[in-house]
Amino acid sequence: MPEINYDKVGLKVGLEIHQQLDTKKLFCSCPSMLRQDNPDFTIHRKLHAVAGETGEIDPAVMHQVSLKKEFVYEGYKTTCLVEIDEEPPHPVNNEALKIVLQISILLNAKIFPITQIMRKTVIDGSNTSGFQRTVLIARDGFIQTSHGKVGIESICLEEDSARIIGATENEVFYRLDRLGIPLIEIATAPDIKNPEQAKEVALQIGKILRSCNVRRGLGTIRQDVNVSIKKGARVEIKGVQKPELIEKAVEKEAERQFQIISMEGKVDSEVRKVLLNGETEFLRPMPGNARMYPETDLPLLKISRDMINEVKKDLPKLIGESEEELRKLELNQEMIKLLFSENKVEEFKELLAVLNNPKLIAKILLVFPREIASRETIPMEKIEKLLDASALLFVIKSLKEKKIKESEVKHVLEKIANGESPRSAIKIEKEDLNNLEEKIHKIIREKPGLSENAYMGLVMKELKGKISGKEAMEIIKKYVK
């Protein structure tokens, strides 16, 4: 299969990221905690047809559903009446709202001063109420990537659904522990143009999320990827957990649509499930727009200037990076691009905060490891593992504290890449300059008649890491006429 030219096929990708927030539940004060122990009680409910107006659920279909299925909800002593749809929702969790405001600001989005909590009709029983509560907080944000700007279409705060535990012919079992956990939903515009950029966007948004108070661990983040190419159709890929898999899945989906089109076929707009190798399989047809109407049990949600200013005061650091900022540090375009594509912007800023030498830090992150890999023939993965964030931080700190010289940094990294501990790697045998001068003189005497630069090469090979190029050249100049 020849490589697809993504520009030519008009690849368009958008991401939808759901991340659980680390607070109590969104509309009650129950703990956001998944449980493995046996439930303390179960309740039995049915859902019924919701009145049909245009664009809503077909009552006939819904009625069928309601006749057949009974929903069994498993609760615990920590479960409250709000969760079992027996009490109106409490006001939205303020902490969760603040986290979403933080993230909205970091994603450069415009926050609505007034917004309304909505009910999105859900018919599969995963919400005891028959709908999911969701509220649009901000719109029209963006992030910068090495391939250009990507729009953030919307940022919503919503409640998670109940977790499906099992099903029989007539019953579906849901556990209430997950129901109501606050989620942020971030939807990008379909501005992403290639698989690599999709991964970059996921990584960047992931970083921003993790800099705020979000839940960690398996299942706390869920990502859906929308993919289409020219003459293809929008296909939603569900449940992609890792950014690497996003890249793969986009690649494979673009390929799949391309193949169908080149065989004169038609791509169906549908929902597909991702497999471990990035391939996808059919899950269900694309659903229509869900019916959405206001949560009439809660007042309008007002987000005041004061609240936004308060949130702005404790924005997490290191984020909000943009090309602009990097350019101000006089890094060249090549370096900036590499920082983004290798996903090293955050690390770059961390190190820069310790030592204000952007060019050296960029080299340490981007150039030296490659050079060392090729010269010492060590695989890149091994080098990345050895030259990890803490090792680099240690080296930079040593430089700042003048334990090593700038000219020695590469040599120190080399030693670490060869398995030496950072602590011992910075201990360079210090020969005094006189000694070194004698050695250089000896090199020149042994091979007379070469150019200054040729001697420089020989000297640096022999005395690698013990003397800076500048110092060496000064000595060479003394002896070469």
Q: Any contact of residue 108 with another protein (CB under 8 A)? A: no
| Total residues at interface with another protein (CB under 8 A) | 53
Name residue, tokens 């029989």. Answer: 168
Report d(CA 49, CA 66) in Å as an integer: 7
Q: What is the DSSP string of 193-254?
A: -SHHHHHHHHHHHHHHHHTSSB--STTSEEEEEEEE-TTS--EEEEEE-SHHHHHHHHHHHH
Q: Any contact of residue 101 with another protein (CB under 8 A)? A: no
Write the burial class of residue 317 (CB in 10 Å: 0-12 exposed, 13-18 middle, 19+ buried): exposed
Smaller CB separation from another protein, 159 or 251: 159
- Taking the alpha carbons at both ends of the chain, their separation in whole angstroms is 61
Smaller CB separation from another protein, 290 or 329: 290
CB of 156 to another protein, least distance (A): 8
User: According to CB under 8 A, which one of 63, 312, 328, 370 is a site residue for another protein?
Assistant: 63
Q: Give me the residues paired with residue 281 across strands.
A: 273
Name residue, tokens 């007002």. Answer: 302
Smaller CB separation from another protein, 200 or 224: 224
Q: Any contact of residue 114 with another protein (CB under 8 A)? A: yes
Q: What is the DSSP string of 400-425?
A: HTTSS-GGGHHHHHHHHHTT--HHHH
User: According to CB under 8 A, which one of 16, 18, 22, 50 is a site residue for another protein?
Assistant: 50
Q: Any contact of residue 423 with another protein (CB under 8 A)? A: no
Binding mask 9-38 for another protein (x = CB under 8 A): ------------------------------
Q: Any contact of residue 123 with another protein (CB under 8 A)? A: yes
Q: Any contact of residue 129 with another protein (CB under 8 A)? A: yes
DSSP assigned state of 94: H
Q: Any contact of residue 404 with another protein (CB under 8 A)? A: no
CB of 38 to another protein, least distance (A): 19
Q: Any contact of residue 209 with another protein (CB under 8 A)? A: no
- By DSSP bridging, strand 171-175 and strand 163-167 are antiparallel
User: According to CB under 8 A, which one of 36, 38, 54, 309 is a site residue for another protein?
Assistant: 54
Tokens found for residue 65: 């559903």
Q: Any contact of residue 289 with another protein (CB under 8 A)? A: yes
Write the burial class of residue 374 (CB in 10 Å: 0-12 exposed, 13-18 middle, 19+ buried): exposed
Tokens found for residue 435: 């000694």
Write the burial class of residue 292 (CB in 10 Å: 0-12 exposed, 13-18 middle, 19+ buried): middle
Q: Any contact of residue 343 with another protein (CB under 8 A)? A: no
The CA radius of gyration of the chain, in Å to the nearest whole number, is 29
Q: Any contact of residue 306 with another protein (CB under 8 A)? A: no
Report d(CA 300, CA 297) in Å as an integer: 10
CB of 302 to another protein, least distance (A): 8
Q: Any contact of residue 87 with another protein (CB under 8 A)? A: yes
**Segment interacting with another protein (CB under 8 A) among 116-124, 228-236, 411-419, 449-457:** 116-124
User: According to CB under 8 A, which one of 47, 203, 383, 396 is a site residue for another protein?
Assistant: 47
Smaller CB separation from another protein, 92 or 395: 92
Q: Any contact of residue 78 with another protein (CB under 8 A)? A: no
Smaller CB separation from another protein, 110 or 447: 110
Tokens found for residue 92: 């939205």
| Contact yes or no for 254/6 (Cβ under 8 A) | yes
Q: Which residues contact 112 (CB under 8 A, 6 or more apart)?
A: 136, 137, 138, 139, 303
Binding mask 135-174 for another protein (x = CB under 8 A): xx-----------------x-x------------------
Given the rule CB under 8 A, which residues bind another protein? 43-54, 59, 62-63, 66, 70, 81, 84-88, 110, 112-116, 118-123, 128-131, 134-136, 154, 156, 289-294, 296, 299-300
